[in-house]
Each structure stands twice: as structure tokens, then as C-alpha cells.
Structure 1
Amino acid sequence: MPPTDVDTENLLLSCRYGDLDDVQEFVKEFGAQPLAETRDENENCVLHMICGNGHLDVLDYLLPIVPTSLLAAQNSAKSTPLHWAALNSHLPIMQRLVEFPGGPGIDLIDIKNTAGRSPLGEAELAGWEEGAKWLVQMMKLDADVQEGDAEEEGGDKVHDIEVEIEDAEGQVAKMTISGSGGGEKNST
């Protein structure tokens, strides 16, 4: 028997408030398929509720059993679960969404909502520098690296990348991404 409207409303509330036991009970009773189909009146899915409220334990439970396309689900304002995580400053949630194996990955960072903002724009709007910096580090950057700069004799050269990002309001943020840390050596 499929879940009733009351069942799906309760599922969304359980996701919103982080009630892992109730979410697990729903899956036990109805299976995983209704998780992907459940939406509220604003087209928010279970991941919107979880990610907007920072419930990492519920996210970790659901990610392996929902279709990976749900990670990019857009609500009526075209915001994704990553937008909600960025707006509410939930770094571990953002990391799980972007780094989930087999998911959309860093392409999630490029999705814009009806306000014209990406998750990065939402993090900036919220004044959340740590999240904005992490998103920039994860983005596909077109860095011009000359072959001579890529390697030094006897080891790798570390580069800092300076990035300018223009948000939807036309404001430009400058950020330097440090190339510190170990790099992979080219063995050709």
C-alpha cells in the first residue's frame, strides 16, 4: 500500500526535524521509492528539509538509497538542497552533497535559482566566508598554467590561485586559494 498524504507530510517533518528513527520507519514500511517522489507545496524534497536544517545523520542514511538525481532537485524557487545548506551554513552537509560518489558532484555548485544565485551566491549573501571559500575551492577553475610552471626540478611547485567571483548583484569578491599541501608528481 502506498503512503498516504499524511504519511508523506510526516516524512517531510521528520526530515526537517532530523528524526532518523521516523525516517527509517517510513523506509521500512514503504520502501525507498516514495522518498524521491515526496514534495511539499513548494516542491521541496526530503533532501531540502535535511540539508536546510543540517541533519547529517539523516543525510548519511538517505544518500545511498535515494536516486542521485535527487541531489540536484529544484524546488519552486529552483533552489537545490545545496542552496539550502549554503544559506544555512552547513559545511558538512555541503561536503556530503558535492562529494557523494556517483552524484552530480561539483556541477551542483553551478545551478542557479530563480534569484539568479548559485549555492556560492547564497553562502556569500549569508556572509558565510568558510562555506564560500570551500565552494570556490571545489569549483572547476580555468587556470592558465604554463608547462614550465607546473613542475620544478626535483619536485612539484605549489601555486596560489587568485579568483574573482561576481555575484548576482554585480559585486565582485576576490579570494586567494592557497596551493599548500602535497601534490601528485607527474611520472612520464
Structure 2
Amino acid sequence: MALTDEDKDEILLAGRYGDLEDIREFVSKFGAEPLAEIRDENDNSVLHMVCGNGHLDVLEYLLPLVPPTLLAAQNSAKSTPLHWAALNRHLSVVQKLVEYPDGPGIDLIDIKNTAGHTPLGEAELAEWDEGATWLVKVMNLDAEDAEKGNGDVEDVGDDEIGVPQDIEVEIEDAEGQVARMTIAGTGASKSS
């Protein structure tokens, strides 16, 4: 059965409003393959709609049905579903996207949109400390250090092995605003 424009609009709306029953019906009727290709006029996918509106149950249903590349799909503003989830402060959705075993993982955190913002940058702009803290904790901060140190181990002094150390993070947005964050073993504090 061929998809009509109305069918495409309906699946995007079902994603936006979290209508799992309509999404299951769509998959039953057309299969899962079209889910990866359907976009709105701004190139948003069904995952953009689901993640931007925080529908974790729908996301959990869709993840095994769509190709992992859809997690990193960018709309016309180059924002991914993770950008939308971070902007709208949906922690469980952010975590599910980053931790999905078959997906791109922490690499999603490094994707920049046309404004030059990563999902972490969007969380900071939304003043969403909980999400920004979680993203910083899971992102790969060691890649930069490894390049600088050529594999050398840095002397950590008399600190006990296994004791969490504070991490100082500075994030600069496209407008040159700098946010500083200290991440401790159990939380974070932010200063501007």
C-alpha cells in the first residue's frame, strides 16, 4: 500500500503527541521502513517529534524499528532528536538516546546544529543544569587529553585511586558566552 501525504502527516503528528496506538497501527499497515524516511517541511523526522515532546514510551517502541542512523538525523537547522530533547529538558529521553546500545552513543553529544550548538549547548542555553550535568558526565572528555598527552599518564598526586575528582568544564556558546561547571562525584555547580 502506498503512503499518502496524509499518512506521513499523521505519523509525524502521532510522534508529536505521543500517540503510541496510532504509531503501532501505522507500522502494522506500512511496516517500519517508511519511519526512517518521513520528514516534515523542516526535515524533522518522527524521532524529532517524539524526543522533542518527551514521549519515552514511544521512543522505546520506535528504537528497535528504525535504523540507528535516524538517532543522528539532522533537520534543516542541523538539530538532531537529542538537540530537541535537551532543549525541552527531557532527561529520560536524552539518556535513552545516548545509551541506546545500537545507536551512535556519546558521539550524539558532539553534533552541532547551524547555530553551532551541541545538545549540551542547548541544555546550557535552556538553563537545564540536570541535563547538562548528565551529558558532561557521560561525554568523552578523555579524547582531548589523550591527544595532548600522547598516552602519558599524568601524576595525580597523593589522591586515592577510585576517589572521584572534581572536573572543571567551560562551555562557550556561539555568542561567546562562557558557562563554567564543576562536576563532583555526586553533582554539579554552575557559574557564569
Give the TM-score of the pair, scaled to structure 2.
0.87
Instruction: Tell me the CA shift for residue 146 of structure 1.
Output: 4.4
1:168 matched to 2:168? The reply is no
1:104 matched to 2:104? The reply is yes
Q: Which residue pairs with 2:20 in the alignment? A: 20
- Residue by residue, what CA displacement relative to the aligned partner does 1:57-112 show, whole Å, maximum 9, x if unpaired? 10000001100000000000100000100111101000000000021111111111
**Contact 2:36–2:70 (CA<8 Å) still a contact in 1?**
yes
Distance of aligned partners of 1:150 and 1:6 in 2 relative to their CA distance in 1, 3 Å threshold: farther
Q: Which amino acid is 2:89 matched to?
A: S
Q: What is the RMSD of the two structures over their aligned residues, measured on CA atoms?
A: 2.1
Distance of aligned partners of 1:147 and 1:157 in 2 relative to their CA distance in 1, 3 Å threshold: farther
Instruction: Tell me the CA shift for residue 178 of structure 1.
Output: 1.6
Instruction: Tell me the CA shift for residue 124 of structure 1.
Output: 1.3
CA distance in 1, matches of 2:28, 2:69: 22
- Unpaired runs of 5+ residues, structure 1, are 181-188
Structure 1 runs (4+) deviating above 4 angstroms are 143-148, 150-153
Give the TM-score of the pair, scaled to structure 1.
0.88
CA distance in 2, matches of 1:5, 1:150: 64
Instruction: Tell me the CA shift for residue 151 of structure 1.
Output: 8.8
Secondary structure of the residue that 1:77 maps to in structure 2? coil
CA distance in 2, matches of 1:93, 1:35: 18
Instruction: Tell me the CA shift for residue 122 of structure 1.
Output: 1.0
**Contact 2:121–2:171 (CA<8 Å) still a contact in 1?**
no
Q: Which residue pairs with 2:89 in the alignment? A: 89
Superposed, 1:38-187 pairs within 5 Å as: 38-142=38-142, 146=153, 148-149=155-156, 156-179=162-185
Distance of aligned partners of 1:48 and 1:151 in 2 relative to their CA distance in 1, 3 Å threshold: farther
- Residue by residue, what CA displacement relative to the aligned partner does 1:160-182 show, whole Å, maximum 9, x if unpaired? 211112122212111112235xx
- Unpaired runs of 5+ residues, structure 2, are 187-192
CA distance in 2, matches of 1:150, 1:84: 41
